[in-house]
Structure 1
Amino acid sequence: MRAPGRPLPRVLFATAGWVVVCWFVFGWRLGYPSFWDPDEATYAETTREMLAAHNWLVPTYDGEPFFDKPPLFFNLQMASFAVFGESELAARLVPALSAVALVLVVWWFGTRLFNRDVGRNAALMFAVLPATFALSSYAIVDMTFTLFLFAGSALVTISALRQVRLKPDPTEENRWSPPSGGPDLQYAGYLLLAAAVLTKGPVALALGGLAFLLSLAIAPEARTPLLRLRWGLGLLIIAALSAPWFLYMWLRFGDAFVTGYVLKENLWLFSGSLYGAQRSLLFYPKVMLVGLLPWTPLLLGRLVDAARGLRIATPERLLWSWAIVVVGFFTVAGFKLDHYVFPAAPALCILCAHAWDAARTADRRPIGIVAGLVTIPLLLLATGVILIPGLARVPLDLPAAVRLLPIALIAAGIAMAGQIARRWRPASIPFAAVAGLLASYAIVITIGLPAFEAMKPTRRLARIVATLAEEEDHVGMYRLNRWSSSWRFYVGRHSERMETAGELRMFFARPGRHYCAMMRRDYDQLTAEGLRLKIVHQEPGLFTTTGRALRSGAAARRDTFIIVTEEPPDPGA
Structure 2
Amino acid sequence: MSIYDRNDPIESDAGSEEELDALPEASFDDPPSDAEAGGNTWTVRLLAMPLLVLFAVPTIFLGLGRSSLWEPDEPRFAEASREMLASGDRLTPYFNGEPAFDEPILFYWFQAVTFDRLGVSEYAARMPAGLAGLGCLLLVALIGARLFSARAGLLAGLALATTFRFVVSTRSGVPDTALLFFTLAALYAFIRAAESDPPGGRVALLGWIAVGLAVLTGGLFGLLPVAIWIVWLVLTARLGGLGRMRAASGLWLMLATALPWYLYMAWTHGRSFIELAVLSDVMARYEPGAATSAGSGVFALMAWPGDAMPWTVYAVVAAASVFLGWSQLSTEQRRGAGLCVVWFAVVLATCAVLSARRPEYLLAAYPAGALLVGLLFDRAVDFGDDAGPWTGLANWLTALCLLALGGLVGWLLQRLFGAPLMSLAMALPAALVLGGVFLAIFQRTGRPLWAFVVVAPVFALGYGLLAVDIVPRDLERFKPGRPLAQIAAAQSGPGRRIGMVGDLDRGLVFYSGQNVERLDTIDDAVAFLTEDGLRLCVLRSDDLDAVVGRYAGTLYQLADQPRRNIRFADLLGDGAGAQTTTFILVSNTPPE
TM class by smaller structure: 0.7 to 0.9
State whether structure 2 residue 371 is matched by structure 1 residue 354.
no
Task: State the 1:4 CA deviation.
Answer: 11
Preserved contact between residue 535 and residue 562 of structure 1 (Cα < 8 Å) = no
Distance 2:133 2:572 in 1: 26
Q: 1:297 aligns with which of 313, 322, 327?
A: 313
State whether structure 2 residue 576 is matched by structure 1 residue 554.
yes
Q: 1:243 aligns with which of 241, 255, 259?
A: 259
Preserved contact between residue 107 and residue 123 of structure 1 (Cα < 8 Å) = yes
TM superposition score normalised by structure 2: 0.84
Preserved contact between residue 278 and residue 335 of structure 1 (Cα < 8 Å) = no
Task: State the 1:327 CA deviation.
Answer: 1.4
Distance 1:198 1:471 in 2: 42
Preserved contact between residue 498 and residue 535 of structure 2 (Cα < 8 Å) = yes
Equivalent position of 2:172 in the other structure:
138
State whether structure 2 residue 461 is matched by structure 1 residue 439.
yes
Residues 1:278 and 1:88: Cα distance change in structure 2 (over 3 Å)? farther
TM-align CA RMSD: 2.9
Task: State the 1:182 CA deviation.
Answer: 7.4
Partner of 2:115: helix, strand, or coil? Answer: helix
Count of residues paired in the alignment: 540
Q: 1:190 aligns with which of 208, 224, 231?
A: 208
Q: 1:231 aligns with which of 247, 257, 276?
A: 247
5+ residue gaps, structure 2, are: 1-38, 328-332
Distance 2:43 2:372 in 1: 29
What CA deviation, in whole Å up to 9, does each residue of 1:168-187 have, x standing for no partner? xxxxxxxxxxxx99732212
Preserved contact between residue 474 and residue 515 of structure 1 (Cα < 8 Å) = yes
Alignment of 1:5-154 (within 5 A): 17-154=51-188
Equivalent position of 2:220 in the other structure:
202
Equivalent position of 1:513 in the other structure:
534
Distance 1:405 1:446 in 2: 12
Residues 1:543 and 1:525: Cα distance change in structure 2 (over 3 Å)? farther
Task: State the 1:272 CA deviation.
Answer: 6.5
Preserved contact between residue 526 and residue 550 of structure 2 (Cα < 8 Å) = no
Distance 2:407 2:482 in 1: 35
Equivalent position of 2:491 in the other structure:
468
What CA deviation, in whole Å up to 9, does each residue of 1:229-270 have, x standing for no partner? 311111110011111111121222222122101111123332
Partner of 1:300: helix, strand, or coil? Answer: helix
5+ residue gaps, structure 1, are: 164-179, 569-573
Partner of 1:427: helix, strand, or coil? Answer: helix
Task: State the 1:127 CA deviation.
Answer: 0.6
Preserved contact between residue 536 and residue 563 of structure 1 (Cα < 8 Å) = yes
Task: State the 1:82 CA deviation.
Answer: 0.6
Q: Larger deviation: 19-28 or 237-246?
A: 19-28
Distance 2:517 2:91 in 1: 27
Partner of 2:104: helix, strand, or coil? Answer: coil
Which residue identity is paired with 1:515?
L
Preserved contact between residue 133 and residue 170 of structure 2 (Cα < 8 Å) = yes
Distance 2:166 2:140 in 1: 13
Distance 1:84 1:547 in 2: 38
Partner of 2:585: helix, strand, or coil? Answer: strand
Which residue identity is paired with 1:209?
V
Equivalent position of 1:410 in the other structure:
433
Preserved contact between residue 541 and residue 582 of structure 2 (Cα < 8 Å) = yes
TM superposition score normalised by structure 1: 0.87
Partner of 1:554: helix, strand, or coil? Answer: coil
Task: State the 1:218 CA deviation.
Answer: 2.8
Which residue identity is paired with 2:524?
E
Alignment of 1:152-551 (within 5 A): 152-162=186-196, 183-205=201-223, 207-220=224-237, 223-271=239-287, 279-308=295-324, 310-311=326-327, 313-362=334-383, 364-394=386-416, 396=417, 398-400=419-421, 401=423, 402-423=425-446, 425-427=447-449, 430-449=452-471, 450-470=473-493, 472-479=495-502, 481=503, 483=505, 485-529=506-550, 531-544=552-565
Which residue identity is paired with 2:491?
L
Q: Larger deviation: 383-392 or 123-132?
A: 383-392
Residues 1:397 and 1:475: Cα distance change in structure 2 (over 3 Å)? farther
What CA deviation, in whole Å up to 9, does each residue of 1:320-365 have, x standing for no partner? 2221111111112111101111012112211111112123323633
Preserved contact between residue 499 and residue 537 of structure 2 (Cα < 8 Å) = yes
Residues 1:531 and 1:362: Cα distance change in structure 2 (over 3 Å)? farther
Which residue identity is paired with 1:105?
L
Preserved contact between residue 219 and residue 318 of structure 1 (Cα < 8 Å) = no
Residues 1:134 and 1:491: Cα distance change in structure 2 (over 3 Å)? same
Preserved contact between residue 564 and residue 577 of structure 2 (Cα < 8 Å) = no
Which residue identity is paired with 2:444?
A
Distance 1:91 1:451 in 2: 22
Equivalent position of 2:20 in the other structure:
none
Task: State the 1:409 CA deviation.
Answer: 0.5
Distance 1:369 1:216 in 2: 30
Distance 1:16 1:258 in 2: 45
Task: State the 1:17 CA deviation.
Answer: 4.8
Task: State the 1:545 CA deviation.
Answer: 7.2
Preserved contact between residue 161 and residue 225 of structure 1 (Cα < 8 Å) = no
What CA deviation, in whole Å up to 9, does each residue of 1:75-105 have, x standing for no partner? 1111111111111111100000000111111
